[in-house]
C-alpha cells in the first residue's frame, strides 16, 4: 500500500508539471463575450444559447462599437469590466486578437477561447507572424488560451455552451467526452452519434493549440467522474509526452479512449499541417503508441460511433471470442468472411450449448457458431437464444442480429432483453446487417433493451474487437523508457557489443582484396557470402554489392572482381573499403530494428525480412521497452509467424531465438540510443530446427544463437565517426 501511495503521489506531481489547467475554459463561473453582436451569427447564437439553456454565471458583453446588446450593457474593452471574469469568448477578426488577449491578461481574466483563424495556420505571412506572436505571448502569460481556429466547446453539466450550434445544446448530459482538433467536424459527428443514443459530458474543439491542447483536455476529462469514455479526432499530437501520460492514466482507470487520426498518407499529413499547423508524425509510430496505451484507433467516423455505442454497454470481455446469433445463412457466410478479414475469433459452441439451442431453433438446422436460428421469432425466444450463447464457456461476447420492427408492428416486450443482462456479465450487443434510419419505435426498443444496438456487420465486428483490445490492456501501467544512458559504442566495437547482448553473428572476416577474401573463405568453410564494404553504400543488395553461395576460392575471387567492377561502373566516386566474407546461413529471413521517433520515443520493429521487406510490408512496431509477451504478440500478428511454424511442409524455424534476438536488440537500442540513431538487422536468419549442429548453432542454450544477424546497418547519431 505504501508503494502504491508513492506511485499515486508521483503521478500527481508529474501531472502538475506536464499539464495546463483548462478548468476556467470548460467550467468557468463567469464569462465575457468579446465581439458581442445581435447581427453576427456566432456571438449572437452563443449568447442566446447560454441564456436559454441555463448557464448560471454572469455574462459580460464587450464590443467597442456597441453600447448595448440584447438589452444588456456592452463594455468597450475587457479592461473596462468591473470584475475580472473566469473565461472570455473572443469572437473577433484575427488582427484584433492580440489587443484583446493583452487586455484579458491585464484585467486578470483566467482564460480565453480564440475562434479566429489566420493565427498561425496556412501559409500567409501575416498568419505566420500572428501565430509567432501568440506562441510567444502564451509562453510567458498566465492567461490560458484555447484555440485559435476553433469553434469552442460544450460543457453539458455546467451548461457552458460556447459552440455556435443550438440543436446540440438541447441534449441531456451524458458520459462521452469528445476532443476534436477539427472544429466543423465535431458537430456533424455529435449529431449523428446523438441520434443513435450517445450523450456527452464535454465536447471540445482545440484548434491550433499554441497553448491549451489535446493533452490538457484529455487530462481534464480523465479526472471527470461523469466521463466514462473519450473520443478523439487527431490531426497532430504537439506534446506527446503529456498526451501519453494522460492516456496512461485513462488506461489505469479503465476509461477507454477511441480515436481517429489523419496523416496515414503523405497528402493527409500535408493537409493537416496546412489546416492547423499540426505535424502529423509517423503514422506507424502513432499506432505503436495506441497499442501501448490501449487507445482504440479507427478507420472511419462511422466506426467511431459504433465502437462508442459498444462501450456504452459498460462491460469488458474476458477474451476475444464472439458468439453470433442470427437468422440467415447468408449472414453467417458474411460473418465468417468479415471475421477472418478483421482477425476476429469465432469458436464453435460446446455440445451442451448446442443441446440447449436445439429447442429454440427452426427444425432441421444444426446449431453452430455463428448461429442461424432460421425464421426469427419473438424477443423472448431471441433472449433465450442469446442467453444460451452467453452461458457457453467458449464465448466472451454475444452479438445478436436484430431485425428491426417496422413502424407500428407488434414486437413483444423488450423486458426479456433487459432481463438477459441480469443473467450474464458478458458484453451483449444487437446489430443490424445494414446501416438504416431508425424510427422512434426502434430507438425506444433500443433504450428499453438496455444494451447497445449497432449497425453494419463489419463495423460491429470491429467494435467488438475494440472492446477486447481495450479490455486486454485495461488497468495496466504502460512501461516507459528511462532516459538514454551514456554510451561508448562505436563502429569499431559494434559487433562485440551486440554479441554481449546475446545477438549471434555469423562467422566472418573483413578483408582488403580478392586474394584475402579467398583465403578467408577457406578458413570459414564453404559455402560463403561475399559483401562489399563501403561507408558510402547503405543497402548493399540495391547496388549489386552481395554475392551468395560461393562454393570455392576461385568463385570468391571472381565475385570480388565482379562486385568491384559493377559498382565502379555505376558509381565511380564510391569509396570501396574492401570485402566482408561470411558463412552462409540458411533459414527464414526476418528483420528486427530499433529507432527513435521524435514524438513517441524509442521503437522496436519485427517483420519479414530480406530484400523485399518494403514490398512485403509485414511488420509490427511497438514502443520500447517491451516484455517477452509483447514480442510474442508482435510475431503472432505477422504472416512471418506462419513461415516460422513450417509453412507448406517446411521445417519449423527457431521462433524462440527470434524472440530472444528481438528482446536483445531492444535492450541494446535503449542502452545505446545516445549514439545509435537507428539500427536494423536485415536479414536476421532464423534457422530451422532440424537437429543438426549447424542449424542449432554452436551453443543452443545461449539466447539468440538460432537467429543469426547476417547484415547489421546502423545510422549513428551526429558526431559519431562511422569510419
CATH of the domain at 98: 3.40.50.261
- Which domain does 673 fall in, by range? 588-716
Shared-domain flag, residues 561 and 633: no
In this prediction, residue 694 carries a pLDDT of 38
CA–CA distances in Å: residue 362 to residues 366, 372, 381, 402, 432: 9, 9, 12, 17, 21
Alpha-carbon distance of 226 to 256, in angstroms, equals 13
CATH of the domain at 542: 3.30.1490.20
Stretch (H or E) spanning 160: strand 160-161
Shared-domain flag, residues 51 and 168: yes
Assess whether pLDDT exceeds 70 at residue 271.
no
Assess whether pLDDT exceeds 50 at residue 700.
no
Instruction: Of 58-62, 416-420, 477-481, 645-649, give the range with the top mean pLDDT.
Output: 58-62
Alpha-carbon distance of 416 to 319, in angstroms, equals 26
Average pLDDT over residues 432-440: 82
Alpha-carbon distance of 417 to 654, in angstroms, equals 50
CB atoms under 10 Å from CB of 446, counted, come to 21
Mean pLDDT of the chain: 90
In this prediction, residue 704 carries a pLDDT of 42
Shared-domain flag, residues 414 and 513: no
In this prediction, residue 402 carries a pLDDT of 78
What is the dihedral sign for C-alpha 458, 460, 466, 472? Answer: negative
In this prediction, residue 273 carries a pLDDT of 58
Query: DSSP strand E in 512-659: where?
Result: 528-533, 546-550, 578-583, 588-597, 601-608, 619-623
Q: How many helices (H) and strands (E) are present in the chain, helices listed first?
A: 25, 29
Which residue intervals of 358-475 are DSSP H helices?
Answer: 379-391, 415-422, 440-449, 457-473
Question: Cell triple for residue 142?
Answer: 498566465
- pLDDT tens per residue across span 521-556: 999 999 999 999 888 877 777 778 899 999 999 999
In this prediction, residue 442 carries a pLDDT of 76
What single string gives the DSSP state of each residue in 655-671? HHHHHHHHHHHHHHHHH
Select from 454, 473, 492 the last residue of a domain.
473
Q: How does strand 712-716 pair with strand 30-34?
A: unpaired
Query: DSSP strand E in 320-442: where?
Result: 322-326, 371-372, 397-401, 428-432
Percent of the chain at pLDDT exceeding 90 = 76
Shared-domain flag, residues 531 and 607: no
Tell me the CB-side half-sphere exposure of residue 482, using CA atoms within 13 A.
7
Shared-domain flag, residues 292 and 215: yes
Question: Cell triple for residue 215?
Answer: 493533452
Which residue intervals of 482-582 are DSSP H helices?
Answer: 494-500, 514-524, 553-570
Q: How would residue 462 be classed by pLDDT, with cut points 50, 70 and 90?
A: very high
Average pLDDT over residues 433-437: 84
Assess whether pLDDT exceeds 90 at residue 143.
yes
Shared-domain flag, residues 614 and 560: no
Residue owning grid cell 538460432: 706
Q: How would residue 693 be classed by pLDDT, with cut points 50, 70 and 90?
A: very low
- Are the C-beta atoms of residues 164 and 41 closer than 8 Å to each other? yes
DSSP tag of 347: P
Shared-domain flag, residues 649 and 563: no
Whether 25 is in a domain gets the answer yes
Whether 181 is in a domain gets the answer yes
CB atoms under 10 Å from CB of 678, counted, come to 17
Whether 491 is in a domain gets the answer no
**What's the pTM?**
0.90
Select from 452, 473, 494 the last residue of a domain.
473
Average pLDDT over residues 467-495: 92
Q: Which residues 6+ apart lie within 8 Å of 123 measured at CB?
A: 274
How many structural domains compose the chain? 4
Alpha-carbon distance of 239 to 702, in angstroms, equals 42
Shared-domain flag, residues 137 and 206: yes
Q: How does strand 508-511 pair with strand 578-583?
A: antiparallel
| CA-CA-CA-CA dihedral for 287, 288, 291, 294, to nearest 10 | -70
CATH of the domain at 705: 3.30.470.20
Instruction: Of 22-36, 364-378, 466-480, 571-585, give the range with the top mean pLDDT.
Output: 22-36
Q: How would residue 279 be classed by pLDDT, with cut points 50, 70 and 90?
A: low
Whether 119 is in a domain gets the answer yes
CA-atom Rg of the chain in angstroms: 31
In this prediction, residue 692 carries a pLDDT of 43
Q: How does strand 173-180 pair with strand 229-234?
A: parallel
Q: How does strand 295-297 pair with strand 200-205?
A: unpaired
Select from 538, 567, 583 the last residue of a domain.
583
Percent of the chain at pLDDT exceeding 70 = 91
Assess whether pLDDT exceeds 90 at residue 234.
yes
Shared-domain flag, residues 567 and 657: no
In this prediction, residue 406 carries a pLDDT of 52
Shared-domain flag, residues 138 and 163: yes
What is the dihedral sign for C-alpha 599, 604, 607, 613? Answer: positive
Q: Which residues 6+ apart lie within 8 Å of 584 measured at CB?
A: 527, 528, 529, 548, 549
Whether 701 is in a domain gets the answer yes
DSSP tag of 531: E
Tell me the CB-side half-sphere exposure of residue 106, using CA atoms within 13 A.
11
- Are the C-beta atoms of residues 352 and 358 closer than 8 Å to each other? no
Shared-domain flag, residues 139 and 55: yes
Shared-domain flag, residues 332 and 454: yes
Assess whether pLDDT exceeds 80 at residue 331.
yes
SS3 632: helix
Whether 3 is in a domain gets the answer no
Whether 96 is in a domain gets the answer yes
Assess whether pLDDT exceeds 70 at residue 667.
yes
Whether 7 is in a domain gets the answer no
Amino acid at each position: 500500500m505504501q508503494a502504491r501511495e508513492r506511485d499515486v503521489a508521483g503521478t500527481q506531481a508529474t501531472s502538475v508539471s506536464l499539464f495546463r489547467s483548462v478548468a476556467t475554459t470548460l467550467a468557468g463561473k463567469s464569462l465575457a463575450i468579446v465581439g458581442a453582436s445581435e447581427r453576427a451569427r456566432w456571438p449572437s447564437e452563443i449568447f442566446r444559447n447560454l441564456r436559454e439553456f441555463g448557464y448560471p454565471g454572469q455574462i459580460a458583453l464587450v464590443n467597442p462599437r456597441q453600447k448595448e446588446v440584447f438589452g444588456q450593457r456592452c463594455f468597450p474593452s475587457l479592461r473596462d469590466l468591473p470584475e475580472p471574469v473566469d473565461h472570455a469568448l473572443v469572437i473577433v477578426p484575427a488582427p484584433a486578437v492580440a489587443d484583446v488577449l493583452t487586455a484579458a491578461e491585464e484585467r486578470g481574466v483566467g482564460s480565453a477561447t480564440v475562434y479566429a483563424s489566420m493565427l498561425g495556420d496556412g501559409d500567409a505571412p501575416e498568419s505566420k507572424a500572428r501565430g509567432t506572436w501568440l506562441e510567444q505571448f502564451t509562453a510567458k502569460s498566465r492567461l490560458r488560451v484555447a484555440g485559435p481556429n476553433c469553434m469552442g466547446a460544450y460543457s453539458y453539466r455546467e451548461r457552458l455552451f460556447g459552440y455556435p450550434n443550438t440543436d446540440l445544446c438541447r441534449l441531456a448530459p451524458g458520459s462521452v467526452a469528445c476532443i476534436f482538433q477539427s472544429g466543423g467536424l465535431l458537430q456533424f459527428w455529435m449529431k449523428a452519434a446523438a441520434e443513435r443514443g450517445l450523450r456527452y459530458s464535454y465536447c471540445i474543439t482545440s484548434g491550433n493549440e499554441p497553448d491549451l491542447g489535446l493533452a490538457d483536455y484529455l487530462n481534464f476529462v480523465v479526472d471527470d467522474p461523469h466521463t466514462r469514455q473519450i473520443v478523439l479526432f487527431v490531426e497532430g499530437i504537439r506534446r506527446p509526452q503529456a498526451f501519453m501520460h494522460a492516456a496512461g492514466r485513462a488506461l489505469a482507470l479503465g476509461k477507454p479512449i477511441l480515436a481517429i487520426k489523419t496523416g496515414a498518407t503523405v497528402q493527409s499529413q500535408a493537409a493537416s499541417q496546412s489546416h492547423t499547423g499540426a505535424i502529423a508524425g509517423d503514422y506507424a509510430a502513432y499506432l505503436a503508441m495506441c497499442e501501448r496505451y490501449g487507445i482504440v484507433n479507427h478507420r472511419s467516423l462511422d466506426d467511431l460511433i459504433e465502437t462508442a455505442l459498444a462501450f456504452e454497454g459498460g462491460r469488458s470481455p474476458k477474451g476475444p471470442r464472439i458468439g453470433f446469433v442470427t437468422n440467415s445463412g447468408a449472414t453467417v457466410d458474411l460473418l465468417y468472411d468479415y471475421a477472418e478479414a478483421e482477425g476476429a475469433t469465432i469458436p464453435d459452441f460446446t455440445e451442451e450449448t448446442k443441446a440447449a439451442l436445439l429447442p429454440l431453433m427452426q427444425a432441421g438446422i444444426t446449431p453452430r457458431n455463428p448461429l442461424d436460428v432460421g425464421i426469427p421469432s419473438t424477443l423472448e425466444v431471441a433472449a433465450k437464444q442469446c442467453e444460451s450463447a452467453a452461458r457457453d464457456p467458449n464465448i466472451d461476447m454475444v452479438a445478436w442480429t436484430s431485425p428491426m420492427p417496422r413502424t407500428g408492428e407488434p414486437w413483444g416486450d423488450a423486458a426479456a432483453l433487459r432481463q438477459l443482462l441480469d443473467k450474464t456479465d458478458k458484453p451483449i450487443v444487437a446489430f443490424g446487417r445494414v446501416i438504416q434510419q431508425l424510427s422512434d419505435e426502434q430507438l425506444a426498443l433500443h433504450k428499453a433493451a438496455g444494451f447497445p444496438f449497432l449497425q453494419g456487420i463489419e463495423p460491429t465486428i470491429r467494435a467488438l474487437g475494440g472492446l477486447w483490445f481495450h479490455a486486454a490492456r485495461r488497468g495496466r501501467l504502460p512501461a516507459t523508457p528511462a532516459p538514454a544512458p551514456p554510451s561508448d559504442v562505436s563502429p569499431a566495437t559494434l559487433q562485440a557489443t551486440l554479441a554481449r547482448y546475446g545477438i549471434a553473428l555469423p562467422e566472418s572476416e573483413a578483408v582488403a582484396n580478392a586474394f584475402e577474401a579467398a583465403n578467408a573463405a577457406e578458413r570459414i568453410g564453404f559455402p560463403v557470402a561475399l559483401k562489399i564494404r563501403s561507408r558510402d553504400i547503405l543497402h548493399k543488395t540495391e547496388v549489386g554489392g552481395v554475392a551468395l553461395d560461393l562454393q570455392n576460392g576461385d568463385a570468391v575471387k571472381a565475385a570480388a572482381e565482379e562486385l568491384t567492377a559493377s559498382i565502379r561502373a555505376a558509381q565511380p566516386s564510391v569509396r570501396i573499403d574492401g570485402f566482408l566474407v561470411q558463412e552462409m546461413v540458411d533459414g527464414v529471413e526476418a528483420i528486427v530494428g530499433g529507432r527513435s521517433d521524435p514524438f513517441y520515443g524509442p521503437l522496436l520493429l519485427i517483420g519479414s525480412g530480406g530484400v523485399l521487406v518494403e514490398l512485403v510490408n509485414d511488420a509490427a512496431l511497438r514502443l520500447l521497452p517491451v516484455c517477452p509477451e509483447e514480442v510474442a504478440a508482435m510475431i503472432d500478428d505477422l504472416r512471418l509467424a506462419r513461415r516460422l511454424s513450417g509453412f507448406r511442409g517446411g521445417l519449423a524455424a527457431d521462433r524462440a531465438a527470434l524472440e530472444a534476438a528481438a528482446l536483445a536488440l531492444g535492450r541494446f537500442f535503449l542502452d545505446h540510443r545516445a549514439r545509435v540513431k537507428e539500427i536494423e538487422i536485415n536479414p536476421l536468419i532464423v534457422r530451422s530446427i532440424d537437429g543438426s549442429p549447424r542449424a542449432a548453432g554452436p551453443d543452443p542454450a545461449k539466447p539468440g544463437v538460432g537467429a543469426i544477424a547476417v547484415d547489421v546497418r546502423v545510422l549513428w547519431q551526429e558526431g559519431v565517426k562511422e569510419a
